Amino acid sequence: MNDVKQVTVGSYLGQRLVEAGLKYFFTVPGDFTLVLLDQLIATPGLRMISCCNELNAGYAADGYARTAGFSAAVVTYTVGGLSLINAVAGAYGDDLSLLAVSGGPNSNDQQDHHRIHHTIGELDLYQAERCFATVVAAVFNIRHLDDAARMIDEAIVTCLTKKKPVYLEIACNLTGLKIPAPTSMLFPIPAAKSDPGALAAAVDAAVQRINAAVKPALVVGVKVRPAQAGNASLGLANAMDCAVATTPDAKGIFSEDHPHFIGTYWSEVSSPNCSEIIESSDCQVLIGVQQTDYTTTGWTALYKMDSAINIGIDQVSMPEGVFSQVYMAEFLEALAVKVSKKDASMLEFQRYQEPIAPVAIAATADVLNLRELKRQIQGMINSETSLLVDTGDSWFNGQKIHLPKGASYHVQMQYGSIGWSAGATLGVALASKPDRRVITLIGDGSFQMTAQELSTMIRYQVNPIIFLMNNGGYTIEVELHDGPYNQIKNWDYAGLINVFNANDGKGLGIKVRTAGDLTAAINQAIKHEGGPVLIECPLLRDDCSKELAEWGSHVSKANARV
């Protein structure tokens, strides 16, 4: 007699998702996923979030993964998957563990080469798999029942260990069939270990280089997050006593309340006095820095790679050589034990610093401008804030906001897909503790891409505060290359909330015109519960950050070079 417990393929997947720590998954249903969804929603501890479209479901999963460390989106074959793929590509660029699950055609149709719906009419049913292969760490396609458990386990483990999205396709006729239930735990997954010899050699070479330098300085980059090396970076900063900057995409990874934090290094648009310190350093210690045209302001940043120590997720390079299989956190921890104090860069920064003049407070009746908007948003930020900024001027506004210890910051600067933050806001909010408040900065152009996800926030009663800067167009594109294509149709953005509320929603939309209006709106928003608050902030078309204008000029030149 066989006493092995049996579960459906869908239930097996659900159990493994819960085991990996997942509480929510994001979906848009389709005929190839309906049986699978039945199994997932029956899984104890797992809740379905139905989004308005697959792109937004992907953005929501992106935001959830940023906060919880792992996420899943479930969509139907091809028509759902190819809508999701844009969000998956963005998640790949930001090293997010996002499991993209797609229902697949009936395995018999695949074997018999039938032409089926939700395809382009060809007999090849591997199209979606090949498309996803370019933006994920691995693809798994369950077309035989005997492969189901192994592929599900491998897909989740790969997603978590590679810190990248993974594509998992399951034939629709298999999801309700029985297989043996999980008999062992997949988690926790053992952490990868450095090669001892390579680690020791890398540390010794770095110690010699730092000790021989006059003004070493640290730059903390975005790859610190997937390497889970935030505490190790802090330990090295404490050991060296030198100046520490972050790249714009790494804001919030290193505490901005730390006494050695000097701001954002972003070439020509860096924080005051920051570029002078970093660019004059004779030993830049680059921790997880990813150099792109955006993060270097059109390749104008001065990274001295001929003298720098460049620390990647699993590799350290410097003039002395490349040290492979050396993991970031282990390297930083070992380096902190041996390195000498080197405070010259910090002392120089302190000499440069001048008292920061307080920002002028606008009169209550003054027409709202960007400066006053940033001042009032800063007053809302505390240790329980998660701040999201969408692509555009919000990047630069976000850089000006000081994050107290405990606050988190989310940006998609590598992929830079406008509208990302609307869906990501939903995901971050669902992954956050109840006492944490999500605040999002988004422009009108970005919002028009993904606006309907406000409806999902209302449906599931999440309560972020969204500041929508309405200046009549794509401001970031205006600064890169202006033209009539950068103008958009104005909407009644605050009024959209009532449309989405219908008869039972608790969203709140407020349009402000003056500084006093904004103060009242913020006070109302903080107290609001049971749904999102959207505060529409009309601004003049040219009321944008001066840093955006300068950055845009440099990036435009980089784009135009021949």
Binding residues for Mg(2+): 444, 471, 473
Tokens of 390: 């969408």
28, 24, 25: which is closest to 452 by C-alpha? 28
301 within 8 A of 272, measured Cβ to Cβ: no
Tokens encoding 363 = 């009169």
Contact 225, 95 (CB under 8 A): yes
Ramachandran sector of residue 461 (left: φ over 0; alpha: ψ -120 to 50; beta: rest): left
Q: In this structure, what are the phi and psi dihedrals at residue 270, rounded to the nearest 5 degrees?
A: -70, 165
Q: Report how far apart, in Å, the C-alpha atoms of 176 and of each of 15, 26, 439, 474, 494 are.
A: 14, 20, 41, 47, 44
Report in angstroms the alpha-carbon separations of 288 from 29, 87, 150, 229, 414: 38, 23, 33, 9, 14
Please enumerate, by residue number, every residue annotated as part of a binding site.
444, 471, 473
**Two structure tokens written together for 414:** 């590598």
Interatomic CA distance for residues 353 and 107, integer angstroms: 67
The rounded distance, in Å, linking the Cα atoms of 271 and 262 is 8
Across 496-553, where does the E strand assignment appear? 508-511, 533-538
Number of residues in the chain: 562
- Whole-angstrom Cα distance, residue 136 to residue 170? 17
Q: What would the two tokens of residue 422 be?
A: 């609307």
Q: Which of 256, 403, 253, 405 is nearest to 329 (CA)?
A: 253
Of 262, 222, 260, nearest to 240 (Cα)? 260
- The answer to whether 39 touches 10, Cβ cutoff 8 Å, is yes
d(CA 75, CA 52): 12
**E-strand spans in 495-545?**
508-511, 533-538
